[in-house]
Amino acid sequence: MKKLAYLCVVVALAASVRADVPFIARESVTLLQSAKSAKSLAIIRYRLTGGPAIVTVDIQTNVNRSASGPDSDWISIGEVNFRNVAGDVNKLITPSDTEDKVITWMVGDIMPEFKARNDSCRAVVKAWAPDSPPDYMVVDLRRDQNRRWIMCKITFIAQTSWPCV
């Protein structure tokens, strides 16, 4: 009987401790590309609520060239094409109920002809709980901010090439 009482106390304590689960609502994510920028800068905005999270991004294109297709119609353009994203991405981000987080992507540096249109391109921003991060992390010992979380395994073919396999 004592064991059952202890078990009930442990379960009650565990239920009362609520971890804030990080969350990014799909409708809070926007992707806009500047037509005036010489380097073709794209801005991705999102709202992270709940708890802190490691945030990653994937840029996807739709095989049907229509935003109305199901999720299975969307495919990634590949990490190699957006490895130069910066801002509130690929690291631990603190949540905010009032402020959007911002990711910048210098599209023109890698894909000068790419146009991020809402009907054929989207940003998929994912929040990973700090105790369950993405499977891979890149560490650059030459920088102050030397950790970068990514969602795919990378193979270094050349110094500037990061293809997903």
Name the more confident of 24 and 141: 24
Asked whether the beta carbons of 85 and 31 are under 8 A apart, the reply is no
pLDDT tens digit sequence for 78-136: 888 888 899 999 999 999 999 999 999 888 888 877 776 666 788 999 999 999 988 88
Residue 10: pLDDT band with limits 50, 70, 90 = very low
Assign domain 19-135 one CATH number from 2.20.25, 3.40.50, 3.40.720, 2.60.40: 2.60.40
Q: What integer is the mean pLDDT of 9-13?
A: 43
Among the listed residues 118, 115, 129, the one whose alpha carbon sits nearest the alpha carbon of residue 74: 118
Q: How many residues does the chain have?
A: 165
Spell 41-59 as b/e; 16+ CB within 10 A means b. Answer: bbbbbbbbbeeebbbbbbb
What pLDDT does residue 54 have? 93
Helices (H), the chain: 2-16, 107-110
CB neighbour list of residue 63: distance below 8 Å, 6 or more residues apart: 69, 73, 74, 75
Name the pLDDT band for 72 (thresholds 50, 70, 90).
Answer: confident
Q: Domain ranges in the chain?
A: 19-135
Block residue for tokens 């009907």: 119
6 or 113: which leads in pLDDT: 113
